């Protein structure tokens, strides 16, 4: 693997790698936090006033530009000693002069990072290495895989150096899978958009997010798509030949996987195609990238697919239109897609196939860390319920105060004995699913002397036993279970 370094007129260094779709772009002449101008075109720089030496010749050649980009970014925000320590950690990664394909190099890096994480190295070093790997992922640099970070590093626990064994992981907003509330708001916002009124830039952003939602596709897969990848089967069902994200060797870089897509996604792509045709005044060719750059001068569409910074601007444009109050990115949608597959009990090999994985070890970590998939089952009921279920609409009454004494509601507890939990104030026959559905019904008059928590716990345990924990995660997200859990929570908190 070789790379080319180009210094543009704007004095930004652009590094492209052979057989890789990713680039590195950075300022080679940054000003450090201490006010020192740095020249990263040199093989060595000294951070003043400490005179800390950064010798880039000591870094593996394939990671040299990664490290320079890191220094260019970090020197403006962090102390010199932090930069120096990070440099010394990164330079320990050795690729043995490898000139293989991108995934082989990626595997070498992952193996060394795993070795560090599973060793008796200090928790501080592990934490810094994890943060550095995460930064390279966020910047979409070659050789650093988002799934290795999300499914392994980001959920790994290794304590702290003070010996107290505390977890060093801090959950950050807008990073993990969409919560139930966010999924609901996102679907509603996407469905309410009048696509005919979107600009081409906004429409590109909407197509990109829809691809992430329906397929769990990575950014690089989305930008690789051409209109020739879209088709319909003999039965009229639409599909996409999705380019593989991880491909070993230059000769295999055109591999695709046929994936079914929704009719709404197909129609959205067709709409974008029609908008291109109107702009071009001619039929769009099959090799035309679905997401592409537009020229504002001659109203022509270039054949170049979007580069990462432009792709993110497309996502930002539709985010502003959605006005959700939280971030929705293809990476978050990919995590959501994966967690939903696992929560439904999808076999590991099937998930790996759909997520374009060759290494099942990373997905096994996802399975083990159930808090990262859908939290614990109890958390699904307690924390998620408070986001999507309104306040209890019924009443808490004494049994003597029931308005419809004959409309009694019975439910079993863990001892399998039926208990009178309340009365129904409705004068019409119930069309719901009592007794579970009663907790979300405005007609419920729940009796105050009943152990409602035990009743709800029995509903949950029955779901686990009947359907298994994997399927139960999805079942327990049903509004009836969430409403019952919300009721118990409010009752315990004294809110009713």
Distance CA 132, CA 138 (A): 10
CA atoms within 13 A on the CB side of 88: 10
Cα 305 to Cα 7, 227, 250: the distances in Å are: 22, 12, 19
Ramachandran bin of 490, using left for φ above 0, alpha for ψ from -120 to 50, beta for the remaining angles: alpha
pTM: 0.62
HEC assignment per residue over 129-175: HHHHHHHHHHCCCCCCCHHHHHHCHHHCCCCCCCCCCCCCCCCCCCC
Can you give the residue ranges of every domain in the chain?
3-144, 180-373, 377-492
- 180-373 placed in CATH 3.50.50.60: no
Helix axes 200-215, 263-280, angle to 10 degrees: 150
Ramachandran bin of 51, using left for φ above 0, alpha for ψ from -120 to 50, beta for the remaining angles: left
133's tokens: 């790997």
- In 3-state terms the chain splits into helix, strand, coil percentages (rounded to 5) of 50, 15, 40
HEC assignment per residue over 47-95: ECCCCEEEEHHHCCHHHHHHHHHHHHHHCCCCCHHHHHHHHHHHCCCCC
204's tokens: 């590109």
CB 56 within 8 A of CB 68: yes
Q: What is the pLDDT of residue 381?
A: 46
CB 474 within 8 A of CB 463: no
Query: What separation, in Å, do the N-terminal and C-terminal C-alpha atoms of the chain show?
Result: 65
264's tokens: 């709404």
Distance CA 196, CA 203 (A): 9
For residues 205-225, b (16+ Cβ closer than 10 Å) or e, as one string? bbbbbbbbbbbbbbbbbbbbb
Distance CA 182, CA 187 (A): 8
Q: What is the pLDDT of residue 415?
A: 65
Instruction: Rounding to the nearest 10 degrees, give the CA dihedral for residues 198, 204, 208, 214.
Output: 50
Q: What is the pLDDT of residue 161?
A: 63
pLDDT in tens, the chain (496 residues): 666 666 655 577 888 777 677 888 899 999 998 899 999 999 999 999 889 999 999 999 989 999 999 999 999 888 999 999 999 999 999 887 566 677 788 888 998 999 998 888 888 888 899 999 999 988 888 899 888 888 788 777 776 665 554 554 555 556 677 877 788 889 999 999 999 999 999 999 999 999 999 988 888 889 889 999 999 988 888 999 998 776 544 445 578 888 889 999 999 999 999 999 888 788 888 988 999 886 655 666 666 778 777 888 899 999 999 999 888 999 889 888 877 776 666 666 677 777 776 555 555 555 544 344 444 444 544 554 454 445 556 777 777 777 776 678 877 776 667 778 788 888 776 766 677 777 777 788 888 777 777 777 777 777 666 655 555 555 556 666 667 777 776 766 666 6
CA atoms within 13 A on the CB side of 451: 11
Place of tokens 């699904």: 380
Using alpha carbons only, give the angle 48, 53, 55 rounded to the nearest 5 degrees.
140
CB 174 within 8 A of CB 54: no
Place of tokens 């010199």: 80
| Strand 23-26 to 44-47 pairing | unpaired
């Amino acid at each position: 693997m070789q790379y080319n370094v180009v210094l543009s007129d704007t004095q930004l260094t652009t590094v492209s790698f052979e057989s890789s779709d990713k680039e590195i772009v950075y300022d080679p002449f940054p000003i450090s936090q201490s006010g020192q101008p740095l020249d990263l075109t040199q093989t060595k720089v000294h951070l003043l006033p400490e005179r800390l030496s950064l010798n880039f010749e000591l870094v593996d050649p394939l990671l040299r530009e990664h490290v320079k980009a890191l220094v260019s970014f970090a020197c403006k925000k962090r102390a010199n000693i932090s930069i120096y320590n990070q440099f010394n950690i990164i330079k320990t990664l050795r690729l043995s002069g490898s000139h293989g394909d991108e995934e082989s190099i990626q595997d070498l890096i992952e193996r060394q990072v795993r070795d560090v994480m599973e060793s008796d190295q200090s928790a501080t070093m592990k934490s810094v290495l994890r943060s550095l790997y995460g930064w390279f992922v966020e910047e979409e640099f070659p050789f650093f895989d988002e799934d290795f970070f999300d499914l392994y590093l980001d959920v790994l626990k290794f304590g702290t150096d003070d010996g107290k064994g505390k977890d060093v992981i801090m959950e950050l907003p807008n990073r993990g899978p969409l919560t139930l509330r966010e999924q609901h708001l996102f679907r509603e916002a996407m469905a309410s958009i009048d696509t005919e009124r979107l600009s081409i830039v906004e429409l590109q952003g909407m197509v990109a997010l829809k691809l992430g939602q329906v397929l769990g596709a990575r950014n690089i897969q989305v930008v690789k798509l051409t209109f020739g990848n879209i088709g319909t089967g003999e039965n009229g069902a639409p599909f996409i030949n999705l380019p593989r994200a991880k491909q070993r060797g230059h000769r295999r870089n055109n591999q695709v996987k046929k994936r079914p897509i929704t009719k709404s996604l197909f129609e959205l792509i067709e709409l974008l195609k029609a908008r291109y045709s109107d702009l071009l005044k001619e039929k769009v060719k099959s090799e035309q990238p679905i997401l592409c750059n537009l020229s504002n001068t001659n109203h022509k569409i270039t054949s170049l697919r979007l580069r990462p910074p432009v792709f993110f601007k497309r996502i930002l444009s539709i985010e502003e239109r959605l006005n959700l109050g939280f971030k929705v990115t293809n990476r978050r949608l990919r995590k959501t897609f994966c967690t939903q597959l696992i929560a439904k009990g999808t076999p590991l090999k099937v998930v790996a196939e759909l997520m374009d994985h060759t290494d099942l070890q990373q997905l096994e970590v996802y399975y083990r860390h159930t808090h990262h998939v859908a939290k614990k089952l109890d958390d699904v009921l307690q924390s998620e319920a408070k986001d999507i279920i309104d306040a209890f609409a019924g009443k808490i009454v004494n049994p003597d105060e029931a308005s419809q004494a004959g409309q009694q509601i019975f439910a079993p507890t863990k001892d399998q004995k039926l208990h009178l939990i309340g009365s129904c104030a409705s004068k019409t026959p119930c069309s719901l699913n009592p007794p579970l559905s009663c907790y979300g019904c405005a007609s419920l008059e729940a009796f105050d002397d009943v152990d409602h928590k035990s009743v709800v716990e029995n509903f949950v345990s029955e779901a686990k036993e009947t359907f298994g924990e994997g399927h139960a995660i999805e079942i327990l997200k049903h509004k009836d279970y969430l409403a019952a859990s919300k009721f118990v929570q409010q009752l315990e908190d004294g809110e009713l």
